[in-house]
Structure 1
Amino acid sequence: MGLLSSVRQLLGISAEQAATREADPEDLFEMSTATLTMEANLGFVPTGEAALCFGNVDSTDFQDAVDAVQEILTVGESGTVADFREDEYGYRWIVLEASEFEDLVTGIHFGSDTLIEHRYGSRLQAAVFAFEATDRASAETGALAYWIYSFRRGNFYPFVPDGEQSRDQSTEMKLQTVLDGELTIEDDREYWYPLWPDNPGSHPWD
């Protein structure tokens, strides 16, 4: 699984201590309208995939909470496909696939809200929404871009990988400029932590 070591800061407490606002799962619904702007103004369309990353807890109660999420997401009638996996660092991922972007947002919100209701909100790390460039985008057609919601900071930020452990900062800045006002965007770029995939062109959770 592709998590660069620097992202351990995102998954730790330093970002949370420096946060200026509390995370709120309701923020995730901002993506519902932002995706329209991504396509109309920037030429990026959803890939049909999103993921929720959270820390593991070795307890029966925690597993019960995860099982509750899994039960709902895997038997829903929306056509959403949910895959529950664990990466090499011990973090858990809920990876969703759906043809309707709204179903991805709803599923990620449900997963995070359920963990909060079971008092495991502190284990939530990031929600990741994947997009790809069309021929109208400034990036190369098919290039991947992500909006990441940091539960440690309570803000979104863009991440556009460009090759192996390099990022397209000009496209990231363009995404920030165009979506500012629609998304609660992290002002401090120090906290725009990368989630590198193992292989260029794949997702961080692959």
Structure 2
Amino acid sequence: MGLLDGLRAIFGTRAETDASRDADPEDLFGMSTAYLTMEADLGYESVGAGALCFAGVDSTDFRDAVDEVRAILEAGREDTGTDFAVTEDDHGYHWVVFEESDPEDLVTSMHFAADTFVERGYGSRLLAAVFGYEGEKGPAYWIYSFRRGAFYPFAPRPGRERDSGVEFKLESVLDGELEIEREKEYWYPLWPSASGRHPWE
């Protein structure tokens, strides 16, 4: 299975079929307190960035929806200071990438963007929200699958390896604070490009 097929399986039709409940952008607010636990109990600091991954639609209405997301984030930039960019990766998936040093403002901006997609009728195009952290052992991410309505940890290491020990530690500490994905087959890695540092790069 290639990367594109894997994304379709984990975040796409199979995830939708196997979904245990409807995903809700309100779930993202769980990270508003989880980042404190990441810092205090696990020694992980926010990297000051996060992203929404979504699948595009070749239609004028969808492009208008993306423009509305841009307009809302642009309007909020003055209040929160959250910077953002809309990009496309090598696999044809789209990202709204946020840069914000305040984790709570980061979550709020990501929620605004996700909620706008839902209100415009494109909630099904949302695939994942990604929150980045850095610790002594390296980077770690919390990934929220909109189709599954749950979070899972991802600890990438050089050579496209994963630190499963770190991932299980994150799961055990944050279980109960975040809605954790119980089916490990849905803990799909979101590898960055060869020249990128984060999954959205």
TM-score scaled to structure 2, two decimals? 0.94
The yes-or-no answer on 1:31 pairing with 2:39 is no
Unmatched 5+ stretches in structure 2: none
Displacement, 1:200? 8.0
* CA distance 1:200–1:168, shift in 2 (3 Å): farther
| Structure 2 counterpart of 1:174, from 169, 174, 182 | 169
Hey, what's the Cα distance between the residues in 2 that align with 1:200 and 1:59?
Answer: 31
Alignment partner, residue 101 of structure 1: 103
Displacement, 1:133? 0.3
Hey, what's the Cα distance between the residues in 1 that align with 2:3 and 2:134?
Answer: 21
Hey, what's the Cα distance between the residues in 1 that align with 2:8 and 2:129?
Answer: 15
Q: Work out whether residues 126 and 148 of structure 1, in 8 Å CA contact, stay in contact via their aligned partners in 2.
A: yes
Query: SS of the residue aligned with 1:148?
Result: strand
Alignment partner, residue 137 of structure 1: none
Percent identity of equivalent pairs: 58
Q: Work out whether residues 72 and 113 of structure 2, in 8 Å CA contact, stay in contact via their aligned partners in 1.
A: no
Alignment partner, residue 119 of structure 1: 121
The yes-or-no answer on 1:155 pairing with 2:150 is yes
Alignment partner, residue 69 of structure 2: 69
Unmatched 5+ stretches in structure 1: 135-139
- 1:48-98, Cα deviation, whole Å (9 max, x unpaired): 000001010111111111111101212421111101111122211000001
| Structure 1 counterpart of 2:181, from 166, 169, 186 | 186
Alignment partner, residue 11 of structure 1: 11
Displacement, 1:201? 7.1
Whose RCO is larger (CA < 8 A, sep 6+)?
1
Larger % of helix: which?
A: 2
Q: CA RMSD in A?
A: 1.5
The count of aligned residue pairs is 197
Alignment partner, residue 51 of structure 1: 51
Hey, what's the Cα distance between the residues in 2 that align with 1:97 and 1:60?
Answer: 28
